[in-house]
Amino acid sequence: MHTWVMDRVEILSARELETMRRSCRMAASCLSAVGEILHVGITTEDINRFVHEYITSRDAYPAPLNYNGFPKSVCTSVNEVVCHGIPGPQVLTSGDIINVDVTTMLPKVAGYFGDTSAMFYIGDPSEDAQKVVEVARESLRRAIAVVGPGARLGDIGHVIQSYAEAQGCSVVRDYVGHGVGRKFHMPPQVAHYGTAGTGRRLKEGMTFTIEPMINLGGFETELQSDGWTVLTRDRSLSAQFEHTLRVTSSGCEVLTAREGVLKHSEDRPWVRAA
């Protein structure tokens, strides 16, 4: 989401954390299930319908729906769309890359939020597509590896930016990760660029997302006239992965870790479920 000024970090109680874990596990399993249904010829509205049904049939609520007026239950961002793509009649064709961003709220009223996204390959990817997707995947993996008590927010941004730029890609500045828990978006802001050793110190119990958006060209973005769809200004390809994390005494727990291999995305399991 867009950046904000307020900065009050909330820590969940043990009881709240159990519900948060369930919400995050549901978001993760929903994303895995999306991987199973993707194919050349599917529309982004088909993905929306599937996600809506998956979440509502499990007594949870798809958090994007009506969030600040967002009209659908999931974000689907294809090719040069950076984030917040709105599902619709668009037919996916071979060579497309798509980010599917699932956010659950459990229970469905005043619940806890689980937020996770991944890139999928539709049919055969171009070299450019593989490049930006794999750089985004690896940048999130490296960022997760530095999360722990005492680490600082700037350490997260630094590891993403230094890796992505060394690979010849750029890091989107206009949208950031965020605290998540009793609200969809709350402090702190988690920038995906920055300087090591700067920014807020992480402490045990903090729950937040890391969701780097990596572009093949420049980092600049442009908001489409629908008020939601974010594009790369130079129309280069963009890729994003997102996990919800909790800082533990020794590192972090990936609350949205998946079971098994994500179809149409991973060739091996990547972040193991706890």
Residues near ligand MF3 (CB under 6 A): 1, 64, 67-68, 70, 75, 84, 101, 103, 115, 209, 211, 242
Sheet architecture: strand order including 213-215: 170-171, 213-215, 238-240
Q: Which of residues 76-105 bind Co ion (CB under 5 A)?
A: 101
Kind and range of the H or E element at 103? strand 97-106
Residue of closest CB approach to ligand MF3: 64
Which CA distances in Å does 156 have to 187, 210, 269? 15, 8, 22
How many C-alpha atoms does 27 have within 13 Å on its Cβ side? 36
Three-state SS at 191: coil
Quick one: how far is CA 273 from the chain centroid? Answer: 17
Partner that binds at residue 164, options Co ion, ligand MF3, none, CB closer than 5 to 8 Å by kind? none
Does position 115 interact with Co ion (CB under 5 A)? The reply is yes
For residues 199 to 238, the per-residue mask of contacts with Co ion, x marking binding by CB under 5 A and - elsewhere, is ----------x-----------------------------
Does position 155 interact with Co ion (CB under 5 A)? The reply is no
How near is the Cβ of 73 to ligand MF3 at its closest, in Å? 9
Kind and range of the H or E element at 215? strand 213-215
Partner that binds at residue 93, options ligand MF3, Co ion, none, CB closer than 5 to 8 Å by kind? none
User: CB-wise, 208 or 219, nearer to ligand MF3?
Assistant: 208
User: CB-wise, 115 or 138, nearer to Co ion?
Assistant: 115
Which CA distances in Å does 107 have to 34, 97, 111, 112? 21, 32, 4, 7
Chain residues binding Co ion by CB under 5 A are: 101, 115, 117, 209, 242
